[in-house]
Amino acid sequence: MDEPGLDVGPESAPQLLADRLTRRLTETGGEAMVAKPFGWLRGRGLVRRPSCSDRRCDDGIRLDTGESCESCANVLHIHRARRAQMRADIDRELPGLADGERRRILERRRRERVATQAENFARDQEQVRVERARREAARAEAAEQTEHARRVAAAAEAVRQALACEDCGRGRVAGLCEACSYRRRTETLTVETGLLAATWAAVLDDRDDIDAVIAGVRASLEADIKHAQREFLESVEPGELDTDPVGAASVLAFVALQTVEAALSDYRSNALERLGRTAEAEAEARRVFRTEQNRRWFRHNPKGADAIAAATKAADTARERTVEYLLTTRLEQLREQTVVRTEQVPAARWTGRLHELAARLLDTDTAGEVIA
């Protein structure tokens, strides 16, 4: 009796079952009319018989309250209203009929109505079945497409994993080995560091001056990288790198990348500081300082401490904003010039540098030179 949605607790189950058995015995005609008690209990006596769609209904009685089911009353009212409407329609269409003929026509129309409702129900059920089959077919097709896409992606990934490194030619590294990936990133950041230095140290329309600044930064970074790699090689046990030359190359390339990343942060801070002392930044700071100092709430005492503090804060903010703008615009200008020069000299593929790679020494005494 403790079914979900019935709002009936286990403590009321015995009384509800007793009432149900009493009603069912009365319908049967008493205990004497029950020939097979066990079969009667399972098939009729204990079975809940809802008279409507409400789960709390049992023979038109609410299981939770014991009162008459309102839903059943509504259903009965609707049936009675339809029956009355059918009688009215017959009286209007066929006036003067005898009672017996009138009942026969009423019953025939009721049967026709029930048959129509059954046909509509069957049609609705068929539509539900078709829609369910359509959804299942769509799900199956989607699953098949997903599986196909997965297989295609797996095959493409397998092909990619089989590619040799574009830079060093090492096989089956998905087109780029770990060490060369670090080297590429290091090269990109080296160029970016040089551009940061050129934003304040070079004449932006003089390519030779820009190249000289970038070359100087590159030389400084290469020296820092060699120093960092030398310190790493000195920190490991002798012969430790011989067991895994590929891993050693990756580690040293990563050391180089970390060195350049640290330098990039320092160069950026330096560039911001230098650009903060340019004429553009100074002029914008002075303009904002005067504007803030002359606001109406400071006009009575523009030289006071509050006015000076507010104007100084606004000027510093304006200077920072101007410095960021100068850095962004100058970097964009320098990158455009760098891209133009890079496009004029196409990069050589690794297959064209095999003779150079083959000439490299692989003994541990020159590991630093090889990896760098």
Strand partners, 61: 58, 68
Judge if 81 and 100 occupy the same domain.
Answer: no
201 part of a folded domain: yes
> What is the residue-level pLDDT of the chain in tens, covering all 372 positions?
445 555 566 667 788 778 878 887 887 787 777 878 888 887 777 777 766 767 777 777 777 777 778 777 777 667 777 778 887 888 888 888 888 888 888 888 888 888 998 999 899 999 999 999 999 999 999 999 999 999 999 999 999 999 999 999 888 898 999 999 999 999 999 999 999 999 999 999 899 999 999 999 999 999 999 999 999 999 988 888 888 999 999 999 999 999 999 999 999 999 999 999 999 999 999 999 999 988 888 888 888 898 999 999 999 999 999 999 999 999 999 998 877 565 554 545 545 555 554 554 444 443 444 333
Phi, psi of 57 (to 5 degrees): -90, 140
pLDDT score at 77: 67
90 part of a folded domain: no
170 part of a folded domain: no
How far apart are alpha carbons 168 and 179 in whole angstroms? Answer: 9
pLDDT score at 340: 58
pLDDT score at 371: 39
DSSP secondary-structure letter at 346?
Answer: P
How far apart are alpha carbons 19 and 12 in whole angstroms? Answer: 11
168 part of a folded domain: no
Number of compact structural domains in the chain: 3
Judge if 129 and 275 occupy the same domain.
Answer: no
Q: Please answer whether residues 320 and 185 qualify as being in contact, where contact means their C-beta atoms are separated by less than 8 angstroms.
A: no
Judge if 292 and 192 occupy the same domain.
Answer: yes
pLDDT score at 238: 85
Q: Give the long-range contacts of residues 320-324, CB within 8 A, separation 24 or more.
A: 320/276, 321/284, 322/280, 322/281, 322/284, 322/285, 323/272, 323/275, 323/276, 323/281, 324/272
pLDDT score at 358: 53
Judge if 324 and 193 occupy the same domain.
Answer: yes
300 part of a folded domain: yes
Domain that holds residue 285: 178-371
Q: How many residues does the chain have?
A: 372
Judge if 70 and 112 occupy the same domain.
Answer: no
48 part of a folded domain: yes
pLDDT score at 8: 60
169 part of a folded domain: no
pLDDT score at 369: 40
Judge if 267 and 337 occupy the same domain.
Answer: yes
Judge if 238 and 194 occupy the same domain.
Answer: yes
Judge if 79 and 111 occupy the same domain.
Answer: no
Judge if 196 and 332 occupy the same domain.
Answer: yes
253 part of a folded domain: yes
pLDDT score at 3: 52
pLDDT score at 76: 67
Judge if 118 and 196 occupy the same domain.
Answer: no
